[in-house]
Each structure stands twice: as structure tokens, then as C-alpha cells.
Amino acid sequence: MLRFVLRRFLAMILTLWVIATLTFLLMHAIPGSPFNNLNGKVLSDAAVKNLESHYHIDQPLPIQYLIYLKSIATFTYGPSIKQPSQTVNDLLGRGFPVSFELGLWSLIVAVLSGIILGLFAALKHNGLIDYVAMTLAVFGISIPNFVLATLLIQEFAVNLHVLPAGTWQGVSYMIMPIIALATGPMAIIARLIRSSMLEVLTQDYIRTAQAKGLSPFIIVMKHALKNALLPVVTVLGTLAASILTGTFVIEKIFAIPGMGKYFVDSINSRDYPVIMGTTMFYSALLIFMLFLVDLAYGWLDPRIKLNKEGK
Amino acid sequence: MSRSPDKLLEVENLHVSFRAQGGEVHAVRGVAFDVAQGETLAIVGESGCGKSVTSLAVMGLIPRPHGKIVAGSIRFKGTELTALSAKKMRRIQGTDLSMIFQDPMTALNPTLTIGSQLTEGIVYQKKISRAAAYQRAIDMLEMVGLSNGAQRMKQYPHQFSGGMRQRIVIAMALICRPSLIIADEPTTALDVTIQAQILELFDQIQKETGVSMIMITHDLGVVAKTADRVAVMYAGKIVEMGSKRDIFYHASHPYTQALLNAIVRLDLPSDTLKPIEGAPPDLFAPPEGCSFCERCPFAMEVCRHVQPPATTVDGHHTAACWLLDKRADGIRQKVENY
Ligand SMILES: Nc1ncnc2c1ncn2[C@@H]1O[C@H](COP(=O)(O)OP(=O)(O)OP(=O)(O)O)[C@@H](O)[C@H]1O
Ligand code: SF4
Ligand SMILES: [Mg+2]
């Protein structure tokens, strides 16, 4: 177990380094300098030179690369170029809790409602609940989250006036963004649970459990669900990633002051330190979630030995 | 028929059907047998003859809704099981009536520890404490020949070999002290040396606990080692039933005789081995007369049209064959010289 964690930790560092390098190359491949147009003011050549030397942009790329790696390793990304009064860490510190709240709730809602929906569909196989649940799932998978978001705003904020259309000030503000983000992943999970549950229920060990006279509820919750969850856990990493990228768009639509907003803005304005900081932060977060998924997998399926070769 | 006091299980006229693509499969068609206290009844027959379906019917585990007990009676300790609600049936399943399945590799849940799977039944059914259940589980493991129980309880099925898993499955079936165990081909999936050990284990358990058993198998060797009485099944019916002696030395039904002939006898020259030719009938549309008629070397005109009734050979030895009818005495003479 400890060896597994250590190996995974090294792999994480390596992955982050590759991502950092790619980000660096891509960042400098975007034409133009961040000082072409600073907050709407056109700067004199001398001022630009001055600023460039302050941010080390006048250095040759290899030197910039080393400075860049060092700042990543020490979490000192420095101040934003566009908003010099704030460091990148300030921006992350303000944006992340909001995005985290939105993303985590969306994931929780998606997983729980997906499992419940899929479970009922499987237990009432070919019944009314099954058809309703699977029709819902097809809609959920086919509607993009930004379309769903605008439909929700139109209906609940504009027409019915029951929910606020944007910003982030409390529970009622969270409902629509979470629904918009969670619906797609929920539908995917529901379909997965349904099909894996149907398969698990035909397994011999389910019949063994029935032969012990256990109640159908215990058989489903204890013997079937844990096995049926395995495929869901496999896609959980991907779903988490899609919710993460979904937050960029959803935060924009609902004017939520999360990290996604800074991330998109920073790319548009070539705010190198902010790009760097947010990218590395998102990457580390995702890699960490994939690690958690692997741990969950090992817990669900004891046949997967975390400390042995091949994962 | 009234219940005789020493009969633990009495099955009469059992019919089980499945809805399937292309119609209804008549898997079990009028089976009747009984099991006495402490006795082992072996049910033998070719693959697909309805052995498993019969045992699932007794256990109340016929998969619904496509499977159904169409007719018949299953009395266990005087209680009519076919009339019980699912809830009442669950109180008997795994407590007084247990089942051991064919494949120990798939019969255990791969994601739960042995300990959890061993104790859950008794904790749920008998409402005893976890600590008591734990101790009982360790005792059971000891009884089936697995020492070091405390450590094994924490392990998962994949950490055991096939033979050990079957021992665990047996321990699981015994933990609530049932009066009757149905073992559905418990050794088929195991290799030969392990088979012998498991059969020995059954013998030992029966001596220690006095449990009755239904041993389902297609292996006459297993029958010879375990059975007191034998029921021979063919195409959803019992064609011959009697003591082990009756079946092995006085087989009266042509199918039983064919089964015995099909065993490789090392003490005879190999050209005396006669495999049974042909295949069992289609259970979607069972034949009108004797179901063995297509493959029977002695088939007569009557066999094609009328089902032979179970006829007493002598004592408790019965067989369902027209050759045993008094009117066929002359023919039987010829057959015996065949
Ligand atoms: N769930 C089911 N649905 C449809 N048909 C079934 C089902 N279970 C069994 N049958 C049919 O019932 C018949 C008897 O099957 P059964 O499993 O009892 O045979 P068996 O004697 O146990 O054979 P084996 O030695 O292969 O285990 C077969 O023709 C089979 O196709
Ligand atoms: S009844 Fe006829 S066909 Fe059937 S086993 Fe007897 S002799 Fe053969
Ligand atoms: Mg079978």
C-alpha cells in the first residue's frame, strides 16, 4: 500500500512536469505580449521593456523556463500581470472555494441521483420506472450543459421568478448551476449502474445469497451494489474532469466568481502567471482525483492489489 | 397421501416450466420423491434432465417471473412450501434447508470477506450477536477442514483454491444447522483428488450432524460413494428409483441400464462399452409417450403413445417402463437375454 502511494506520488510529479512544460510551450506559442494592451492603455516602448524585464519576459526562453519551473515548485507565481495588486495565489484562494463548492456538489448530486435512478431502473427492469429513467438518461446525455443552463434560467428565473439567475450568494443560487452541471454525468452513471446491476443480479453469488434467505434489500445493497459500482468508479475520474471543465462555462453563464472565470480571462489576456497557476492547480487537482479513484477501486474490488505490479 | 413421520421432505407430482423464446420449456414433469431423516438421496441424470430445476424448486429459488411451479406439492417437515409466502420461505432458506452450488469459483461474492459471507446468514436469520456468529463460523471452518479460521475470516474468495472455496461454501451451508442440504453437483467443478476429499467431508459431516442430503450428480461414481437411495432422472421425470443396491445391481429401466453400461469398466474388454445413442427429447414439446422411446432399444408401439406409469419392481424399487407391465412378460424374457 505504502509503495503504491509512493509510486503514484512520483508518477504525479512527473505528469505535472510534463503538463507544466506543455503549458509553457503553448503559452509562448500564443502570439503577442501581455503588454500589447494593458487594461485598455497603449504603453510606450520603454514602459513595455521595463515591465518585460520585471516579469523576466525579456530573458531567453530556456532561462524563462527555469524561472517558471522554480516558481511552480515553490508555489510563488507572483502577482497577476493584469491585476498587479493581486498575486495568483490570492486569485486561486478566492476563486477555488467557490468552484470547489460548485464542482463537488455537482459530483455528489450526479453520483447519488445516478445510482438511485439506475438502481430503480434495474430492479424494475422493463417496467415503467425503467422506461422513464432511461428516457431521462438519454435526454441528460444529449443536452449540453450550457443549453440546459440557459433553458433553466429562461424557465425558473425569467418566467417563473423562483430562482435567481446568477451570482453566488446562497443555496438558492446553487440549484440551477448544479442541475446544469450534474445532469449529464448523472445520466451516464444511471445507464452504467442499470446495465452492470442487471448483469450482477444474474451472478451465482446472488443466488447463493438468496439461498441464505437474506431479504431482497440486503441482497441488493450488500451483494449487488458494491459489484455494480465498479464500472462507475472507473469513469468517475473522467466525469470529474468533465464537471471541472463544465464549471468554466457554467460559471460564465451564471456569473459565478469561481476559478474558471480567472482561467478563461487569463488565457484571453495572456496573463502568464495566472495561466500557469490555474493550469497547474487544475492539473494537480485532477491527478489527485484519479488517485482517489484508484484507491476507491482497490477498496471495492479486493482482487485488485494496489501494492502488486501492474497498478 | 399422508405424511409419514420419518419423512423430512416429500415431493409429489412436481411440474416446473419456464417461459422462453419459442415457447414454454417443461423442465420438470411430474417428479415425486422423498427424503428421510439422516438419509442421502442421489439424483442422477444427463445434463439438462431437470436436476437443478428440481432442487431450485425445493429451495424456493425458481427464477421469477419466467419460471414457475405449475403443479405439485413440496412438503418439508409437514409444511407445504409451495404455499408459503416469499417472506415465510426466507425463514426456512439457509436455516433448515441449505443449498450447495456447483461452481465454488462463482458461488462466493468476490468483494466480501469470507467472514462476512459466512456470518451474515446466521446473524440475519437467528438474530445472534456478531461475536457469537464469528465464533460459530470459525468452528464451522474447523469442521470442514480449514484451520487458522481467524485469519481466513478476513480473506477474500480469490485468495483460496477451488477446493478450499467449496469447503467454505459447505461451511456456509452448515452454519445454521440445517436438517436438509441440497448439493447440486458439488464436485463437478473440482479436480479428481479434491473431489474425493470433498465427498469424504460430506460423509464425515453426515456422521457428525445427522443431516439429510440430496446429492445431485451425473457421476455414478459419486452416487456409489454417497447415496443411500437413488433417483434416476430423464427428460424431466424420475424413471427409476430404489436403493443403491437396486439401482446398481438390479437396474430395471432401459435408461438406467444404458447409464450403467456407459461407464468405462476397467475390468471388461473395451468393446463392451456402449455409449447411449441419440439425444434427450425437446422439452419444448415433450413426447406423448415414454420420453426415452427414441433411444430405447426395446421400444414397443405402446411406448410411443402412452406414458409408462411407475411400477413396483420389488419393495421400494420402482421404474417407469412398459416392460415391467405384466402384459409384457414375454417380451421381458427376450430382453433379459438380450
Ligand atoms: N432459467 C431458465 N430459463 C429457461 N429454461 C431453463 C432455466 N433453467 C433451466 N432451464 C431448462 O430446464 C431444463 C433443465 O435444466 P437443469 O438446469 O435442471 O438441468 P440439469 O439436470 O441440472 O443439467 P446439468 O447437469 O447440466 O446441470 C433445461 O432444458 C434448461 O434449458
Ligand atoms: S417404456 Fe418403452 S420406450 Fe420407454 S423405456 Fe420402457 S421399453 Fe423403452
Ligand atoms: Mg444442473
With bands split at pLDDT 50, 70 and 90, how would you rate the model's confidence at A37? low
Give chain B's contact residues with A (Cβ, < 8 Å): 59, 61, 89-95, 98-99, 101, 103, 106-113, 120-121, 124-125, 156, 158, 169, 172
Q: Does A310 touch chain B (CB under 8 A)?
A: no
Q: What is the pLDDT of residue A310?
A: 38
Look at A210 and B61 and tell me if their CB atoms are within 8 Å.
yes
Radius of gyration of chain B (CA): 21
Å from CA of B297 to ligand 2 middle: 8
Q: What is the pLDDT of residue B2?
A: 47
Q: Does A212 touch chain B (CB under 8 A)?
A: yes
- The protein residue with its alpha carbon nearest to ligand 2, atom 1, reads B321
Site from A125, A210, A212 to mutate, B interface, most B CB atoms within 10 angstroms: A212
- Chunk chain B into consecutive blocks of 10 residues (it has 338) and report each block's average pLDDT, rounded to whole numbers: 71 94 90 94 93 95 90 94 93 93 90 94 90 92 90 93 92 92 90 88 91 93 92 94 94 91 66 70 86 89 91 91 81 64
With bands split at pLDDT 50, 70 and 90, how would you rate the model's confidence at A311? very low
Tally A–B CB contacts below 8 A.
75
Q: What is the pLDDT of residue B29?
A: 93
Rounded CA gap, A254 and A176, in Å? 9
Q: Which atom of ligand 2 is nearest to the CA of B239?
A: 5
Rounded CA gap, A45 and B168, in Å? 83
Q: What is the pLDDT of residue B247?
A: 94
Q: Is B286 in the pocket of ligand 1 (CB under 6 A)?
A: no
Q: What is the widest separation between alpha-carbon atoms in chain A?
A: 85
Look at A208 and B90 and tell me if their CB atoms are within 8 Å.
no
Go through chain B and tell me how many residues it has.
338
The preferred substitution site among B298, B327, B333 for testing ligand 2, maximizing ligand atoms within 8 Å of CB, is: B298
- Mean pLDDT, residues A227-234 taken together: 88
Burial of B129-138, coded b for 16+ CB within 10 Å and e otherwise, reads: eeeebbebbb
- The protein residue with its alpha carbon nearest to ligand 1, atom 24, reads B47
pLDDT tens per residue, range A173-204: 888 889 999 999 999 999 999 999 999 999 99
Q: Average pLDDT, whole number, for chain A?
A: 83
- Select the residue of A211, A218, A300 nearest B124 (Cβ to Cβ): A218
Residue ranges of domains in chain A, CATH in brackets: 94-271 (1.10.3720.10)
Q: Can you tell me whether residue B259 is helix, strand or coil?
A: helix
- Mean pLDDT, residues A162-172 taken together: 78
Peptide bond into B65 cis (omega under 30): yes
Q: What is the DSSP string of chain A?
A: -HHHHHHHHHHHHHHHHHHHHHHHHHHHHSSS-TTTTBTTBPPPHHHHHHHHHHTTTTS-HHHHHHHHHHHHHTT---B-SSSTTSBHHHHHHHHHHHHHHHHHHHHHHHHHHHHHHHHHHHHTTTSHHHHHHHHHHHHHHHS-HHHHHHHHIIIIIIIS--S--SS-SSHHHHHHHHHHHHHHHHHHHHHHHHHHHHHHTTSHHHHHHHHTT--HHHIIIIIIHHHHHHHHHHHHHHHHHHHHHHHHHHHHHTT--SHHHHHHHHHHTT-HHHHHHHHHHHHHHHHHHHHHHHHHHHHH-TTS-TTSS--
Q: Is B156 in the pocket of ligand 1 (CB under 6 A)?
A: no
- Do B121 and B172 form a contact (C-beta atoms < 8 A)? yes
Question: Smallest CA–CA separation between B86 and chain A, in Å?
Answer: 9
Å from CA of B46 to ligand 3 middle: 9
Nearest residue to A222 (alpha-carbon basis) of A200, A192, A202:
A200
Q: Is B108 in the pocket of ligand 2 (CB under 6 A)?
A: no
Q: What is the pLDDT of residue B155?
A: 93
Query: In chain A, what percentage of residues exceed pLDDT 90?
Result: 20
Q: What is the pLDDT of residue B335?
A: 63
Amino acid, single-letter form, for residue B179: S
Query: Alpha helix (H) ranges present in B14-146?
Result: 51-59, 86-92, 104-107, 114-126, 130-143
Å from CA of A200 to ligand 2 middle: 44
The neighbour count for residue B333, using CB atoms within 10 Å, is: 10
- In chain B, how many H helices and how many E strands? 13, 12
